[in-house]
Amino acid sequence: MTNTKPKKKGKSLPPKLIISLGKYVWTTLWHLMMSRLAPRNQSGEYIRPDSQFRNFVSAAEASTYQPATGRYKLYVGLGCPWAHRTLVVRALKGLEDVISVAIVEPSATTGGWVFTSEEEGCQTLPQLYELAQPGYTGRSTVPVLWDTQTKTIVNNESAEIIVMLNSEFNEFAANPTLNLYPKELQEKIDWWNQKIYTSVNNGVYRCGFAQTQEAYNKACDELFNTLDEIDAALNQSRYLCGNNVTLADVRLFTTLFRFDIVYYGLFKCNRRRIQDYANLGAYLRDLYQLPGVANTCDLESVKQDYYGNLFPLNPGGIVPSGPDMAFILKPHHREKIGAI
């Protein structure tokens, strides 16, 4: 005779308890991971650490780092907006044959940058930093301006590297007369740079890495207030400081290029897309279509680096198929503003 008595089922946890436990565990782990990824203050606002290597390439007689062709190398991540700045200036100035480039990729397992092929006997960027400064314990970031002669890091602050690329290699540049930081505009360029860095370049990260609602709201308001201000200014001139491109435009461009691709969704900057602004959308197209700039832009690397590697923001690691960036090749008609 078959025993048809139903087996006792083990008691399951009530769904409410499961959800509460899961939320507690995930939130705790999220804060732990975010503390390493994005240092914050007591208000939950993201605080970007300062760069540590701040030497300069200069033709001055006392300078350790003299301008030369083939001596220096840039280490960059194609998804990184800060590294992207250096590639844009390198292209605009025509320094491709003067300063070489090596690519690093983010590792989802180690949380750091790794080389696509061995560099200076190193497999990872932290190893290169250790080679430059034995005992180094700080953050290992890109871009890196590396001196192949002394085997050390000259500078890892993008804002300073692009100033050097603009002025210190003209002897070897294909476009030596292009000056992206002219003396007569430096005060205005610096003013825009400070505003854009705080509210836009770093502002999108302050939104995406905010760890409280209040910190997010503050960063998001500042971001879009500044974008509105820039959009209005671009109704008066082709570029931020007049009718010629400057370093201020370069520094803004690399954030704008990534905005609709990753910041709009992943970083919760979704009040408005750049392509929907009256002037910013066309301005982005104008900069993208400058000679050499498009070759520095890697859409798929941007998506992979952000969606595939920022685990705390995208635990599933799913990389979206969009957005459609075909608009970036459409005519911008910004030269008409320059002619007025």
**Cα gap 219→112, rounded to integer Å:** 26
- How many CB atoms sit inside 10 A of residue 110's CB? 10
Beta bridge partners of 113: 106
272, HSE (Cβ side, Cα atoms, 13 Å): 16
Q: Is the dihedral of CA 101, 319, 291, 242 positive or negative?
A: negative
Residue 269: helix, strand or coil by DSSP?
A: coil
DSSP letter assigned to residue 54: B
How is 80-128 classified by DSSP, letter by letter? -HHHHHHHHHHHHHT-TTTSEEEEEEE-TTTSSEEEEEEETTEEEHHHH
Report the relative pairing of strands 113-119 and 144-147 from DSSP bridges: unpaired
**Cα gap 110→308, rounded to integer Å:** 13
Residues annotated catalytic, as ranges: 80, 205
Residue whose pair of structure tokens reads 């690093």 in the numeric block = 104
111, HSE (Cβ side, Cα atoms, 13 Å): 9
**Cα gap 10→312, rounded to integer Å:** 34
**Cα gap 275→37, rounded to integer Å:** 29
Distance of CA 309 to the CA centre of its chain: 14
